[in-house]
Structure 1
Amino acid sequence: MGALTLMAAVGNNKASMAGETETAKGNDFAMGAAYALSKRTTAYVKAGTYNKYKISDAEGSVGVKTSRTSIGLRHTF
Protein backbone atom coordinates (compact mmCIF):
# COMPACT_ATOMS: atom_id res chain seq x y z
CA MET A 1 0.00 0.00 0.00
CA GLY A 2 1.28 3.49 -0.80
CA ALA A 3 3.65 2.56 -3.63
CA LEU A 4 4.45 5.30 -6.15
CA THR A 5 5.30 4.32 -9.74
CA LEU A 6 6.73 6.90 -12.15
CA MET A 7 6.16 6.64 -15.91
CA ALA A 8 7.75 8.28 -18.95
CA ALA A 9 7.47 7.70 -22.69
CA VAL A 10 9.08 9.10 -25.85
CA GLY A 11 8.02 8.26 -29.39
CA ASN A 12 8.83 9.24 -32.96
CA ASN A 13 6.26 9.81 -35.75
CA LYS A 14 6.69 9.82 -39.51
CA ALA A 15 3.82 10.01 -41.97
CA SER A 16 3.30 10.47 -45.69
CA MET A 17 0.54 9.71 -48.18
CA ALA A 18 1.02 7.92 -51.46
CA GLY A 19 1.14 10.37 -54.36
CA GLU A 20 1.52 13.43 -52.10
CA THR A 21 4.61 15.58 -51.62
CA GLU A 22 3.76 16.44 -48.00
CA THR A 23 5.63 14.69 -45.21
CA ALA A 24 5.06 14.86 -41.47
CA LYS A 25 7.63 14.17 -38.77
CA GLY A 26 7.32 14.60 -35.04
CA ASN A 27 7.73 13.31 -31.52
CA ASP A 28 5.58 12.25 -28.56
CA PHE A 29 6.49 13.01 -24.94
CA ALA A 30 4.58 11.88 -21.85
CA MET A 31 5.14 11.68 -18.10
CA GLY A 32 3.02 10.40 -15.27
CA ALA A 33 2.73 8.76 -11.90
CA ALA A 34 0.55 6.09 -10.32
CA TYR A 35 -0.05 5.74 -6.58
CA ALA A 36 -1.33 2.46 -5.14
CA LEU A 37 -4.15 3.28 -2.70
CA SER A 38 -4.72 -0.41 -1.97
CA LYS A 39 -3.90 -3.80 -3.47
CA ARG A 40 -6.41 -3.30 -6.32
CA THR A 41 -6.95 0.48 -6.51
CA THR A 42 -4.56 3.00 -8.09
CA ALA A 43 -4.78 6.78 -8.55
CA TYR A 44 -2.93 8.12 -11.61
CA VAL A 45 -2.01 11.30 -13.42
CA LYS A 46 -0.46 11.54 -16.92
CA ALA A 47 0.43 14.53 -19.08
CA GLY A 48 2.07 14.82 -22.45
CA THR A 49 2.26 16.08 -25.99
CA TYR A 50 1.11 13.59 -28.62
CA ASN A 51 1.09 13.76 -32.41
CA LYS A 52 3.47 16.72 -32.43
CA TYR A 53 4.11 17.01 -36.17
CA LYS A 54 5.98 19.37 -38.42
CA ILE A 55 4.27 19.06 -41.81
CA SER A 56 6.39 20.13 -44.78
CA ASP A 57 5.72 20.54 -48.48
CA ALA A 58 7.02 22.68 -51.34
CA GLU A 59 5.30 25.80 -49.93
CA GLY A 60 6.77 25.58 -46.41
CA SER A 61 5.94 23.92 -43.11
CA VAL A 62 3.43 24.14 -40.28
CA GLY A 63 3.44 22.67 -36.77
CA VAL A 64 0.57 20.70 -35.22
CA LYS A 65 0.37 19.19 -31.72
CA THR A 66 -2.09 17.65 -29.27
CA SER A 67 -1.62 18.05 -25.52
CA ARG A 68 -3.41 15.73 -23.12
CA THR A 69 -3.74 15.41 -19.34
CA SER A 70 -5.45 12.47 -17.64
CA ILE A 71 -6.34 12.08 -13.96
CA GLY A 72 -8.22 9.11 -12.61
CA LEU A 73 -8.73 6.07 -10.42
CA ARG A 74 -8.33 2.49 -11.59
CA HIS A 75 -9.78 -0.48 -9.74
CA THR A 76 -9.31 -4.09 -10.83
CA PHE A 77 -12.00 -6.63 -10.03
Structure 2
Amino acid sequence: MTQQPVDDIEIVAALFQLARSGAIYTKEVLLIEAKKLFPDVPEERLLDCRRQLGERLKGSDYLGYSDEYDRQRRRKAS
Protein backbone atom coordinates (compact mmCIF):
# COMPACT_ATOMS: atom_id res chain seq x y z
CA MET A 1 0.00 0.00 0.00
CA THR A 2 1.48 3.35 -1.02
CA GLN A 3 1.41 6.32 1.30
CA GLN A 4 -0.56 9.40 0.22
CA PRO A 5 1.38 12.69 0.16
CA VAL A 6 0.62 14.99 3.07
CA ASP A 7 -0.61 18.52 2.36
CA ASP A 8 0.85 21.47 4.24
CA ILE A 9 -2.52 22.25 5.78
CA GLU A 10 -2.62 18.77 7.32
CA ILE A 11 0.79 19.33 8.89
CA VAL A 12 -0.25 22.77 10.14
CA ALA A 13 -3.41 21.26 11.67
CA ALA A 14 -1.38 18.55 13.41
CA LEU A 15 1.05 21.18 14.75
CA PHE A 16 -1.89 23.23 16.01
CA GLN A 17 -3.31 20.20 17.77
CA LEU A 18 0.07 19.52 19.40
CA ALA A 19 0.41 23.13 20.50
CA ARG A 20 -3.13 23.19 21.93
CA SER A 21 -2.55 19.99 23.90
CA GLY A 22 -0.59 22.01 26.45
CA ALA A 23 2.31 19.57 26.48
CA ILE A 24 4.49 21.63 24.14
CA TYR A 25 5.84 24.99 25.21
CA THR A 26 8.66 25.75 22.79
CA LYS A 27 9.01 25.81 19.04
CA GLU A 28 11.95 23.43 19.25
CA VAL A 29 9.89 20.75 20.99
CA LEU A 30 7.09 21.32 18.46
CA LEU A 31 9.56 20.59 15.65
CA ILE A 32 10.80 17.43 17.37
CA GLU A 33 7.25 16.15 17.75
CA ALA A 34 6.45 17.08 14.14
CA LYS A 35 9.43 15.00 12.99
CA LYS A 36 8.00 12.04 14.92
CA LEU A 37 4.57 12.47 13.31
CA PHE A 38 5.90 13.08 9.80
CA PRO A 39 9.25 11.29 9.47
CA ASP A 40 9.17 11.33 5.66
CA VAL A 41 8.63 15.10 5.40
CA PRO A 42 11.82 17.18 5.02
CA GLU A 43 12.74 19.41 7.96
CA GLU A 44 12.59 22.55 5.79
CA ARG A 45 8.95 21.82 5.00
CA LEU A 46 8.14 21.21 8.67
CA LEU A 47 9.80 24.53 9.53
CA ASP A 48 7.72 26.25 6.86
CA CYS A 49 4.54 24.67 8.23
CA ARG A 50 5.47 25.81 11.73
CA ARG A 51 5.94 29.33 10.35
CA GLN A 52 2.54 29.11 8.64
CA LEU A 53 0.94 28.12 11.94
CA GLY A 54 2.51 31.12 13.66
CA GLU A 55 1.28 33.47 10.95
CA ARG A 56 -2.23 32.03 11.09
CA LEU A 57 -2.37 32.33 14.87
CA LYS A 58 -1.06 35.88 14.81
CA GLY A 59 -3.42 36.82 11.98
CA SER A 60 -6.45 35.46 13.80
CA ASP A 61 -5.74 37.35 17.02
CA TYR A 62 -9.13 38.96 17.49
CA LEU A 63 -8.29 40.47 20.90
CA GLY A 64 -5.35 42.44 19.53
CA TYR A 65 -2.65 40.91 21.69
CA SER A 66 -0.30 40.54 18.74
CA ASP A 67 -0.57 44.27 18.02
CA GLU A 68 0.33 45.06 21.62
CA TYR A 69 3.25 42.61 21.44
CA ASP A 70 4.52 44.32 18.27
CA ARG A 71 4.26 47.75 19.91
CA GLN A 72 6.22 46.55 22.95
CA ARG A 73 8.92 45.00 20.76
CA ARG A 74 9.36 48.28 18.88
CA ARG A 75 9.70 50.22 22.16
CA LYS A 76 12.33 47.80 23.49
CA ALA A 77 14.33 47.99 20.25
CA SER A 78 14.45 51.79 20.34
- Which structure carries more strand by proportion? 1
- Which structure carries more helix by proportion? 2
When normalised by structure 2's length, the TM-score is 0.22
Max Rg structure: 1
